[in-house]
């Protein structure tokens, strides 16, 4: 198993454990009735990814958000390259739903790796309970002066 595969497996296991602990089957209405301070964000008919399939170096990227405890969110993201690149990076932005728009809530410094194919970053973030949050993750590679960049958005989660 390569280093990249073991990192992805560890991230996947963490996500599965967190999702298993989160109550399933809750509707947006039920979530709104359980402590939300705003209406739920609308179901968005937008692409949750802007990765150009013709990129030479940037292969993929992902992100997730989950409640870790009251007023705390676990956020994570990863980027992968098709081959070893000079720099590979991911930066995580937490956005909060105001009831009418997504606004930047906080962000973390970019996590970068040099001469690698993979980078992973995670944080526990303090948030104001009762709001819906999502992560916007920015992924990029630099190889020989050529930069390629993609963006992903997670679905929203109510954090109490």
How far is Cα 12 from Cα 29, in angstroms, rounded to an integer?
Answer: 29
**Residue 127: CATH number of its domain:** 2.60.40
pTM: 0.78
Q: Could you read off the pLDDT of 79-104 as tens digits, one per residue?
A: 999 999 999 999 999 999 999 999 99
Number of domains in the chain: 1
Judged on CB neighbours under 10 Å (0-12, 13-18, 19+), 62 is buried
Q: How many CB atoms lie within 10 A of CB 116?
A: 18
pLDDT band for position 28 (50/70/90)? very low
Q: Does 11 score more than 70 pLDDT? A: no
Domain span including residue 61: 3-159
């Amino acid at each position: 198993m390569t280093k990249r595969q073991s990192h992805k497996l560890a991230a996947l296991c963490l996500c599965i454990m967190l999702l298993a602990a989160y109550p399933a089957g809750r509707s947006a209405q039920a979530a709104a009735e359980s402590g939300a301070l705003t209406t739920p964000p609308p179901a968005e008919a937008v692409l949750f990814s802007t990765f150009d399939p013709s990129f030479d170096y940037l292969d993929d990227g992902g992100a997730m958000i989950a409640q870790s405890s009251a007023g705390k969110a676990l956020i994570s993201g990863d980027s992968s390259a098709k081959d070893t690149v000079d720099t590979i990076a991911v930066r995580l932005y937490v956005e909060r739903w105001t009831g009418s728009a997504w606004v930047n809530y906080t962000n973390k410094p970019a996590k970068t790796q040099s001469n690698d194919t993979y980078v992973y970053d995670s944080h526990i973030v303090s948030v104001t309970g009762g709001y819906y949050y999502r992560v916007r993750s920015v992924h990029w590679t630099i190889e020989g002066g050529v930069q390629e960049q993609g963006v992903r958005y997670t679905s929203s989660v109510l954090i109490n």
